[in-house]
Each structure stands twice: as structure tokens, then as C-alpha cells.
A and B are shown apart, each in its own frame.
Chain A
Amino acid sequence: MSHATDPVRSRRDFIALLGTTASTAWLATIWPPAIADAREAGDAASQGQAPRYRALTKQQAEDFGAVADRIIPRDDAPGARDVGVVFFADHLLATFSPARKPEFDQALAALNEAARKHVPDAGSFASLTPTQQDETLRSIETTDAFNLLRSITISGYFSHPSHRGNRDQAGWKAIGFQDRMSWTSPFGYYDQPDVMARLMPWRRA
């Protein structure tokens, strides 16, 4: 059996993963379309091309983007749409979770229904004002539909950037997380030697 000679220590992205023979063979058994898509996505993303969705319609992309931006709005860190969660959702539903697409379609349909209940002549959720959008979401925030949209938004904001969300690791930077192969102690405030000496006098005893 052949396999990569060394663990990838630096550029750990999904495309590199798919390039190693052991994974490719294995992944193909459970995520058949993942391989081609990841290559294509990598190419398109690196060339900054206009969005080309594989699973989402244009309207779905707009509605989902609008919801995602209310779930994780922009503050001094980017919002959900800024970091590519719409591309993430498309990637997710086209590749490793196609089985969730019907559920996703239903969730957006439920969202638009709630929007129209709130603003009868609303064309779609995306066409509402942010305040109307928040009011609409409050009316469905305990439903399965909302939970699915929330979970995809959060996954897209914080997942490994190779899945097309979390662009430039902006989601990770926003919370102070870094992906590294190694760390050394002290890891935080409390385990610094002087702090430990102060807080844990028994350690010297």
C-alpha cells in the first residue's frame, strides 16, 4: 500500500488531504463527489471567480446569506457572508452532505413563509430590512428549520477554510483561535510561572 511519506505539517487543507492516496481511496467510498468538487472549488476560489453554485439556486443563496448575516452579523470582525458561508453551504450540500439538501430546501421554504407572515407582500426573506429579518427569525428560532440554518452558518464561519467558509481564517481570528501543529507552555494566563507561584504557593513547598 502506498501513502504519503510524511504527515503534512504546514499547509493542511482539504485539497492536500484529497491528494494523498490513502485518503482518496477511502473518501471515495463515502463522499464520492467530494474529490472533484474540492479541486474545482480550490481552483475557482484561488482565481476569485464569480460564484457558481452547485447545490443552491441564486435565490437560495441570497436568502441563506441574509439569514447567516443575522445569525453572525458583522461587528469589528467580519459577518457570516463576508467569510464565505454561502459558498460553504453550497459545498457542503453538493459534496459530503447531499442527503441534507431536501431538509435545507424545506428550511428556507419555512423561512420565507415566516417572512411573508410577518410582511405580507415580502418577496423573500432577503428582501426584508434587517429589523424585519430579526423579527421573522425570532418567530421561528426554536424550530428545526432555524436550527439547521444556524448549524450550517456556524459550521461555515468556523470550519477549516478549505471548505470555502472561514475565509482567511477570519472566523478563527474573531474568537482568538489558531490552528497550529505545536504549542509550548505557558498556554494561557494561569500557567505562567509567576502567576502559578502566586496562585499556587503549595507548588514550591
Chain B
Amino acid sequence: MTRDVRQAPAVRYAPTDDVDFVIVGAGAAGGVVARELARSGFRVLVLEQGPYLRESDFKHDELLVGEGHQLTNIPSLQPQTFRATADDKATRRDYLIYGRMVGGGSVHFTANYWRLHEEDFIERTRYGSVPGAALEDWPIRYAELEPYYSRAEWELGVSGIAGANPFDPPRSRPYPLPPLPIKPSGVLMEIGARKLGWHPAPAPLAIISKSYRGRSGCQHCGFCESFGCEWKAKSSTLATMIPEAERTGRCEIRPNSYVRRIQTDSRGRVTGVVYFDAQKREVMQRAKAVVVCANGAETPRLLLMSASNQFPNGLANSSGVVGKHLMFNGGAFAGALFEHEVNGYKSVQVSRYVQDHYRLDPKHGIVGGGGIDMRFDWYPISFAMEALPTDAPRWGADFKKMVREYFTRTAYALAHTTQLPQEASTITLDPELKDAWGLPAIRTTFTEHPNDMKLYQFFLERNLELLNAAGATRTWAFSIDAPWQVHLLGTCRMGNDPKSSVVDKFHRAHDVPNLFIVDGSSFVTCGTGQPTMTIQALAFRAAEAIAGFAKRGEIRG
């Protein structure tokens, strides 16, 4: 027997049940949409390709989450290819990482939870036309999203101090929870940043600092980024929205269900989806409407895989922009050694951040900007493998000595930045490589805009400046040519014009009245840093709009 609240009477739908909504993907956005639509009285079925793991499945085991891909996409099952430009032949490379489980990326993410700022929504107006970039304003403004940012903070549980960051946009409510304790790296950050005249503030985190809505506060175990929280203190949708959705008695979460196609009828309306169940059998599930929340890589892939006679370029793709404008947020990374114990391996990764360079002064001639935090996101294996200065010994007695000296005394500065949207940066279907189900693999085509590289260099210099000002005894830079690809954004952008965007401002596909798309793919520009708070605020807003359409009979068209 179990006392887990998730064991509440589970509703089970049959494939022939015409449920009100099928949601594809139980991630950061999907979990929110599921809970909101189920609470509004609709019958909701969530199909998630990954497993339904419990807190008891989470281990402090670097190999299990790394080599074992326990919480993320599994390259041996879903391999990918990559090419820098459309002129190159793509080769096998697992370029993108995302959470593949109930809860999606909200389970293993670092939980840095930043709002976008007002100007992030109007960069086209701000900068005009930038050569080579497909810069556009969003069809919504910060003020329209603000109530949903606040809702996300309160419904999910976010820790921080309103007003501590002077660059924060206006807010209607304070944070529901006080910030987590300052870490040694946070103290060093405050010292360094203040010396430079910057404005360090407690980092807002989707982690609860104290008990909140039946969950216990963070216990500072340190296995946070890349791991699932055994204490349910990280406000993943697995720990928050999903059990609440299930408790309505109207929402079924169906794991190990890999959607391969969205089905349409002769009128161009969605009738349901076809998915592979755990035994790789194909099942047709009927639905009155479908909400795709499969993330910035899998959502465009699914639309492209759903091409038909009626939609030859892929579903909802009359504009041709499905899969285009892929963005990740860029960044720069530097490390430093300090005299005394920093012990970054304890507690959450980040406790302080700065946004003094959120939008660079025009005198730099660089579009966009970024934020910087100080952190430690290594574990023993990854630290010894790659955290030391690039010119450090890599093996032998000196190597071992250095790992032993440095592990408890290092801290790192990480900047997250703008990346410009470009038409040539895409997710497409690989013409040759197939996954373990015989479906076309993801092919990523990506090269940074020259502006992005200038931005990374700018931030690399700020990182080093910060670490030195904090009193480092030694600092070192990491290459800016190797950014990470974990924020998957922009590939089904929203807009008012059906010719240049995939969904409207309420996330309804321009081409298909009963198809909605809500996840990182909706972003028009990638913003300046951490996307997930905006993904989830959009999800609250979209769910409210979708529920309204359904209640007014405005979905089937």
C-alpha cells in the first residue's frame, strides 16, 4: 500500500472515448495546461513518451542520469543529426537535451526562474531590422502576461524577494516564498558585483525555501541540476501540477505513449492522435481538440511528421515557418579558485544573480544582453572530467592533486544571453536516420548569428571581471564555441499574421481551429536568459483562453 496522494482514483479513458483534450507531452507547459483544463471541468488525456517516475526513483547517481539518461532523451533510442548550415550534410550528433518523463524538463532543470522584461517582447521595435535576423515583436506585451507570471509563481511555488533586483519588471504580487539561504558563491558574487557597481540579488528559483502546499522545503542535498528532487522541493510539474490534475478525477496521465502523428479529417480538423504504446503497438486516440506541449524540438518534428495530402508541408505549416527560428539562449562560462572552502556541491546551484547587462548600451553595437549568476553545477565525475582550467594537467599525480585542491574551492560565473532568431536555424526531419520506432530523427541546423558571438565574448569578459573582483586567486575561461542546447525555443512562433507565424496570440494554430501549441516553441524571440518561467506563464494564459473557447463552443469551427 502507499500513501502517495497521486494514487487518487485514476480516471482511464478508452481510445474510442472522444476526450475533450489530448495533450501531447507532460512537461513544463503540458503539466500546467493539463491541470488548468481538468480543473475547468474538461476530460483530459495526457500522452507522455517518457516514464512516470516517482521520487523513490531519483538517485544521487551521476552515471544513472548521465550515461543512463534516466531523466532525459535517450540517444540510443532517439538519435539525432546535426549540420551547421543547409549546405552541409548532417552527421550523427546528439545535439539537443530535454527531459523525457512525466514532468519533462521541469524535473531536472536548475530551476532558475526569471521573468522576461517588457522590452523582450518588442525587440523588433527596439532594434529595427537586424541583417540576417528574423527579429519580430511578440503579439502580446509584458503587461498581458504579468498576471500569469504571478499565478505561476504562486501556483508552482517560487522563492525570491520582490524588488531586490532593480531591473525586475513591474509585478502585481510579491514572491510567495522567501529566498533560499545565501551560498558561499553568493557571498562572493555580492562582493565582486558590488565592487563593480553592479546590483546582485537573490536568484528567483522554482524551489520552495519552506513548506508550501503540502511539500517540504529544500533540504540542500545538492543533487539538483540534472537530478530529480527526492523531497519534492523543486516545483516541477511532477511535484505540483500533475498530481493536482489527477486529483480532479478528469485527467489521465498516460506514460510510455509516444505520439507519432496528429490525425485530421477531410475538413482539416484534428480528430485525435496516433501513438505507440509501451509495447510499440499503434493506438488511435480520439479527441475533440489537441494541445501539443512536446517542446521546441519535438513539437515541430511532430507537426512535420503529421503531413498529409491536405497539409503537404506538415500540419499547421502553411506559413512554412514550422521548425524555423530555433534558439537556445547563448552564454559564456568562466571558473575561479578561491582561498577558502566554497563547497558548491551543497544546496541548489545558484543563490545570487545580476541583470546589470540585461540590455547592452547601444555604444557596444550589440543587440540584446544577458544575466550572470555564480554557481557550481559539477558533480565529482564531471568536475574531474572538465571543470579545471583548460591548460591544467589532465592525468597523473599533478592532475589528481589539482582535482583534490580545487573541488571544494571553486565557483563559476555563467551568463545566459540573447540569441537572435534566424530563418536558417531549424529543426527538420532527417531524410535518412530513423529512431527505434522507425520515425525520422531530429535534424538540427544551427549556426550562431555574428551578433551572438560578440555577445558571448562580452559576457565572458564580464564573468572574468566578476570572479576577479570577488577575490579569486585564479580565474579561467571556457570556450565560447561550445554553448549548451537545453533551452529549445522559437520553432512554432506566435504572431498575428498567419503567413509568418504558426500560432496566434492564444496559441491556436492559424491553420487548424482545434489544434493548440503551447511550449518553448511559441517564443518569438528567446529573451534574455531563463525561458521556463515564461513557458509556464504562457501555459496558464493559454489554458484559460482555450477553456474559454471550449465553453463557448468556439473550438471545432
Task: Report A's interface with B, CB cutoff 8 A.
Answer: 1-9, 12, 14, 17, 20, 22-23, 26, 30-31, 70-73, 75, 77, 92, 96-97, 99, 134, 137, 141, 150-151, 154-155, 157-160, 162-163, 171-172, 174-177, 179-191, 195-196, 199-200, 202
Contact = CB atoms under 8 A, between A and B. Distances in A.
B214 to A, nearest CB: 16
Contacts of A191: 181-184, 186-187
Nearest to A146: B395
Contact of B62 (A3, A151, A160): A160
B63 A183 contact: no
Contact of B4 (A5, A72, A184): A5
Nearest to A203: B190
Contact of B340 (A7, A17, A77, A189): A189
Nearest to B190: A200
A182 B219 contact: yes
B221 A182 contact: yes
Contacts of B77: 30
A199 B368 CA distance: 33
A7 B184 contact: no
A187 B220 contact: yes
Nearest to A161: B61
B385 interface: yes
A20 B183 contact: no
A185 B222 contact: no
5 tightest A-B contacts by CB?
A189-B340, A182-B219, A158-B380, A188-B343, A188-B184
Contacts of A71: 395-396, 399
Given A159-B381, A174-B400, A175-B403, 9 more contacts: A3-B2, A3-B54, A7-B54, A175-B407, A182-B220, A182-B221, A189-B342, A190-B342, A196-B187
A80 to B, nearest CB: 9
A73 B219 CA distance: 35
B266 interface: no
B381 A158 contact: yes
25 contacts: A1-B52, A5-B1, A5-B2, A6-B56, A8-B56, A9-B230, A12-B59, A14-B61, A14-B64, A20-B56, A71-B396, A71-B399, A75-B401, A137-B395, A154-B381, A155-B63, A159-B61, A159-B380, A163-B63, A181-B221, A183-B222, A188-B341, A189-B340, A189-B341, A191-B183
A180 B221 contact: yes
A195 B182 CA distance: 13
Given A5-B3, A75-B400, A199 B408 contact: no
Interface string B24-53: 000000000000000000000000000111
B183 A160 contact: no
B187 A7 contact: no
Contacts of B54: 3-4, 7, 22
Contacts of B400: 72-73, 75, 77, 174
| Majority secondary structure, B binding face | loop
Interface in B465-508: none
A183 B346 contact: yes
Contacts of A195: 187
A185 B181 contact: yes
Contacts of A96: 63, 67-68
A200 B56 contact: no
A53 to B, nearest CB: 19
B424 interface: no
- Among A4, A182, A187, chain B packs the most CB atoms within 10 A around the CB of A187
A183 B384 contact: no
A191 B183 CA distance: 6
B191 interface: yes
A190 B384 contact: no
Contact of A187 (B188, B347, B383, B407): B347
Contacts of B61: 12, 14, 17, 159-160, 162-163
B229 to A, nearest CB: 10
B345 interface: yes
A34 to B, nearest CB: 9
Given A154-B381, A175-B404, A30 B187 contact: no
B5 interface: no
B385 A154 contact: yes
Given A73-B397, A188-B408, A171 B220 contact: no
A110 to B, nearest CB: 16
B393 to A, nearest CB: 10
B219 A177 contact: no
Contacts of B221: 180-183
A160 B194 CA distance: 39
A122 to B, nearest CB: 20
A112 B298 CA distance: 45
Given A182-B219, A191-B182, A200 B191 contact: yes
Interface in B370-395: 380-381, 383-385, 394-395
B63 A160 contact: yes
A26 B53 contact: yes
A177 B396 contact: no
Contacts of A137: 395
A2 B347 CA distance: 31
A12 B227 CA distance: 14
A182 to B, nearest CB: 4
A183 to B, nearest CB: 4
Contact of B59 (A6, A17, A97, A172): A17
A160 B60 contact: yes
A86 B444 CA distance: 38
B411 to A, nearest CB: 9
A178 B68 CA distance: 22
Contact of A30 (B53, B76, B219): B76
Interface in B212-236: 219-222, 230-231
Interface in B120-165: none
Contacts of A92: 67
Contacts of A26: 51, 53, 57
Nearest to B182: A191
B175 to A, nearest CB: 19
A74 to B, nearest CB: 9
